[in-house]
Structure 1
């Protein structure tokens, strides 16, 4: 799961305000309910010394409806100068929270990243297609739209008369040429943007023709979702529910791929580590491709621990002496372990994947898939780096 959009939080001036808000709006009193939730959180932030100007900006943001009709949440993170991150959450928090402190509360934002899917909706008919660039955490509509008209307008078959056969041939040829134009537009979009999935919908015959014309890698990310239509006639609620199912399948596949890599690397005895001390070691060496975190670890056991950190994200240690050994001078600074680990992951462009109970073997609720390994990398097979004996496997 990509965390690149959280990178602007690194190196920003504190204090940080993190708001985790249920912005679900009911049919009648929804606007007032959302406003009341924010007002209650704001009072607490004011007591804790948050800037009035920053709170005003956050209030202006959350006052604008997301456009999402289902229950959902929102995470907003601001530094000393203003809002840096503003994301829609697929699920509302069980309880709306807000805090101000020297570091952002990264867990809600990382949860939002775990849910985010970038996708292209392609609604086709026999004349062309409508393309819409979307992300699952944006309720304000597509970030971009494009209309493709094939240019071949003889798309209706002649059903009777002496020219019937010739008319049918011309119509089918027009469908194919128009499908080619749509396919080229989709391929261009996929080459320019890293979509997790392309949702292809619309006229059944046109959908089939477009798929026949698509090459890889576009075809590899296409999913057919029935129910969409150009212009009037789309069954909105039914279609959106089917799209939501397709996006959830993408999330599940994305998580499964990372967890499979972690398990395979553990089985080889290289390419993955687990236990807090070993994860700290590979994070500060810049070896991590993906953090693997138990779903409850950052808010549970790791949430109760603190690490020592320096001004740079990769400067982290479990003791002040270890931090000094990294060359960090001055009074040591502490940070919640979960925040420090996520900060280091973001600082080296690593992703984060959440694991459910029993899906992988994690010590301390934390592990990592590595970009590279060498002889000094903590090993699952040889206990040379970690004093934590719990991670050792029985070797037969």
Structure 2
């Protein structure tokens, strides 16, 4: 997964406030519950010397996802009195948190973005047109985005209605749009559901380049998406939650090859830090859940990280500090050196210290 979406967090020096808040709407009086939780975080930020303008900037962004139904969360970052980044999360955070420090607490946000699979969802419905003649039309909903973030923030949505007799021609145009989306956005899965005749016609007429991406759901009876939620959200979760993008699969295969030859260069926190220091990491690989109990030492630049302050001093740095959140240091280094991120369940790929890298090049 690319990490460009995190770049605004590092565009200006800290300190920066990082807030993760459960903003789910599936409880009684959700606004009151959210306000109560936010007030606790607000007090915590002020107690840790966050300035009032920065806290106000966060407060203004906390409640801007009221139109999103169901369980979800909010990640908000602000510094020097201005909002830096705010995103709606597909899952509520494990616990509400508010940190104020020199580095943003960006790893939980990055992990919610993974596996970051480009997909499309298509739902067709047949409906009768009121009036004489008893004509029918087909309604088509189309949505595209990246899973799982687009569970709560779909990127692209279109809605059209066509007479049933015009569907074959319209289906041809729509399939051309899907093929273009595969070329332009790298869409890896296109999930079809709805009216059997309309879906089957899409399957039969699809160009060859779409054959490997099309998935037809057996049960085509699906209701409309809840406000702010993705089309076919539950079905997409079953299909995509345990899947990696094709690019990430190839990178993991390459990592396994490097590990088989030279594990001391690619696995463990020492090897990971060394590769990020040298801008040699093509991809940062983390086991999830991430081990939280290791500290690193960091400076002002993304490559300023080490296992000890003595190491940074030996590099000629005079300003550095101990960073208690290892994830904050690693994810800043990865984003700052254009490294990708892959997160894998620990039971599928156990890593020494829970961290590893795929190297851009090796000196051996």
Query: Do they superpose with TM above 0.5?
Result: yes
- The corresponding residue for 1:368 is 357
Aligned with 2:239 (options 243, 246, 263): 246
Q: Does 1:91 align with 2:91?
A: yes
1:334 maps to 2:326: no
Cα 1:313–1:216 change in 2 (3 A) is: farther
The aligned residue for residue 142 of structure 2 is 131
Query: Is contact 2:287-2:346 (8 Å) kept?
Result: yes
Counterpart pick for 2:182 among 169, 173, 190? 190
- Mapped to 2, the partners of 1:272 and 1:212 lie a distance apart of 50
Please give the per-residue CA displacement for 1:105-148, whole angstroms capped at 9, x wherever unaligned: 12212222225544322234685743223443356653433346
Q: Does 1:350 align with 2:339?
A: yes
Shift of 1:20: 1.3
How far apart in 2 are the matches of 1:343 and 1:140? 25
Task: Give secondary structure in 2 for the equivalent of 1:70.
Answer: coil
- CA shift, 1:23, in A, is 1.3
Deviation at 1:24, TM superposition (A): 1.7
CA deviations on 1:239-268 (whole Å, 9 max, x unpaired) are: 432233223143598876654443343224
Counterpart for residue 379 of structure 1: none
Larger displacement relative to structure 2 (262-271 or 109-118): 262-271
- The answer to whether 1:267 aligns with 2:237 is no
Q: Per the alignment, do residues 145 and 252 of structure 1 end up closer, same or farther by CA in structure 2, a change over 3 Å counting? A: closer
Q: How much has 1:94 moved relative to structure 2?
A: 3.2
Alignment of 1:183-332 (within 5 A): 183-215=175-207, 217-225=209-217, 234=223, 236=225, 239-251=232-244, 259-269=252-262, 273-300=266-293, 302=294, 305-307=295-297, 309-326=298-315, 328-332=316-320
In our comparison, the structure showing a higher alpha carbon Rg is: 1
Name the structure 1 match of 2:7.
7
Secondary structure at the counterpart of residue 250 of structure 1 = coil
Q: Is the 8 A contact 2:120 2:142 kept in 1?
A: yes
Could you give the per-residue CA deviations for residues 258-307 of structure 1, whole angstroms, max 9, x where no partner exists? 5444334322447971122221221122222221222244413x2xx222
Tell me how far apart the structure 2 counterparts of residues 272 and 318 of structure 1 sit (CA, whole Å).
15
**CA, structure 1 residues 243+358, in 2 after alignment: closer, same or farther (shift >3 Å)?**
closer
Q: Secondary structure at the match of 2:169?
A: helix
Alpha carbons 1:133, 1:142 under 8 Å: kept? yes
TM-score, scaled to structure 2: 0.81
The root-mean-square deviation of aligned C-alpha atoms, in Å, is 3.3
Distance 1:356 1:66, change over 3 A: same
Contact 1:73 1:89 in 2 (8 A): yes
**How far did residue 61 of structure 1 move?**
1.8
Note if contact 2:116-2:245 (Cα within 8 Å) is conserved in structure 1: no
Which one has a larger percent strand, Structure 1 or Structure 2? 2
Q: Secondary structure at the match of 2:114?
A: helix
1:178 aligns with 2:193: no
User: TM-score, normalised to structure 1's length?
Assistant: 0.75
Deviation for aligned residue 1:236: 4.9
Task: Classify the secondary structure of the residue corresponding to 1:338.
Answer: helix
Q: Across the two proteins, how many residue pairs are aligned to each other?
A: 347
Provide the C-alpha distance between the structure 2 equivalents of 1:371 and 1:280, rounded to a whole number of angstroms: 14
- In 2, Cα distance between the equivalents of 1:189 and 1:103? 37
- Alpha-carbon distance, 1:339 to partner: 2.0
* Partner residue, 1:161: none
Contact 2:117 2:245 in 1 (8 A): no
1:138 to 1:78, Cα distance in 2 relative to 1, 3 A? farther
Query: Which structure 1 residue ranges, 5 or more long, are not aligned?
Result: 156-173, 376-396
Whether the 8 Å contact between 1:132 and 1:144 is mirrored in structure 2 is yes
